[in-house]
A and B are shown apart, each in its own frame.
Chain A
Amino acid sequence: MCIRDRYQRRVRGLRSFLRMIVCVAVVGKGNNPLYLQNFNFTPTNELKFHYIVHTALDVIEEKVQKNIGTDGKQAAQANEMYLGLLYPIEDYKVYGYMTNTKIKFIVVLDDNSNDKKDAIRSFFKRFHALYVDMICNPFYTPDTKITSAKFEREAVKLIGSLN
């Protein structure tokens, strides 16, 4: 689990409006956590986000089962990587995205924000592109903890541009 406090400290000094994306996580195909990053203003119990992401995994499995269970006519939907809103919790909404290789991206959004479906969809697409660039590193073993500084930098930049 890569929780970076220094980003939180830096962020507090900058803008003061409410941020949209509060947490981003990458989970491997065995439901093992690979990357988790908070973008929260107020100091929170980081464990809470681990718990939220963990709960999201069950919802993802349900959704995916449902997609597989449908007949041939809806096969196109079965390939859809964007899973949409998974579930709401407290002040947050949790969105999910699963790649063909069963890598899951989970994003926790602040409920007070007016987020358009397209913005989140395009966020996942760009996040997926960042993930692919990171995997191409010959020194990264897939399905292990993500330690790439470049990936973190780019992810933070991407989220900063959306918030």
Chain B
Amino acid sequence: MAANKQKEGERVFKEQEKINAELFTLTYGAIVSQLIKDYEDIEEVNTQLEKMGYNIGLRLIDEFLARSNVGRCHEFPETAETIAKVGFKMFLGVVGSVLPNSWNAERTEFSLILEENPLVDFCELPDNYSSLNYCNIICGVIRGALEMVQMRVECRITKSVLRGDDVTEFKITLKERLTDDIPMGDD
């Protein structure tokens, strides 16, 4: 399953329009540092980044489903692989991996590792910003995108290269599957 997803990810990535990576990294860095100047409270900045990501995710999922050939995911592990291999490849150009030992017993929680993260290139966190979750926007994107496909998840960063770890790690927990409020009628 992972190999198919990987191939699909590469196919979609090839067809995507590209942007200069440094421009992207510098733009994101400018956003984060401006947010810090505006809000001055690091926790508030983390919340805002997540909110921004959420709004991006709500829209991103439609583009994702339109361009990629992935069908409906039958179970949560499949969703995890799709996000890691196709989603990240398509939008960030990097492939993530799902840690197999990170699954919990009910298969509702997993960890996603990014070995390369274009958002944090050149970035060094000063000591007084150590509680800043620099990549929090990605958490928001995942939450927003999955909400539009009827899954409510929580996503948080558990490892960050800016804090000395060698990878970026996200922990994603499925909270509930959302059902449509309007019942499906025959008319």
A residues with a Cβ closer than 8 A to B are 133-134, 136-140, 147-150
Partner of B26, one of A134, A136, A139, A148: A136
Classify the interface of chain A: helix, strand, loop or mixed. Answer: loop
Contact assessment for A139 and B25 in the assembled complex, using a CB-CB cutoff below 8 Å? no
- CB pair B124 A139 closer than 8 Å: yes
The size of the chain B interface, using a CB distance under 8 A, is 15
Q: How far is the CB of B127 from chain A (nearest CB, A)?
A: 9
Interface of B is mostly: helix
> Shortest CB–CB separation between residue B165 and chain A, in angstroms?
15
Chain B residues with CB under 8 Å of A138's CB are 26, 28-30, 32-33, 122-123
B125 with A139: CB separation less than 8 A? yes
User: Given A136-B29, A138-B29, do A149 and B122 touch, yes or no (CB 8 Å)?
Assistant: no
In the complex, what residue of chain A is closest to B33 when comparing beta carbons?
A138
A145 to chain B, nearest CB (A): 12
* B30 CB to nearest chain A CB (Å): 6
Closest 3 CB pairs of A and B: A138-B29, A136-B122, A138-B33
Query: Is A139 touching B122 in the complex (CB atoms < 8 A)?
Result: no
Q: Is B76 positioned at the interface, with any CB of A under 8 Å from its CB?
A: no
- Verify A133–B122 contact, CB threshold 8 A: yes
Q: Is the CB of A148 within 8 A of B122?
A: no
CA distance A110 to B32 in the complex (A): 44
- In the complex, what distance in Å separates the CA atom of A147 from the CA atom of B25? 21
Interchain CA distance A139-B33 in the complex, whole Å: 6
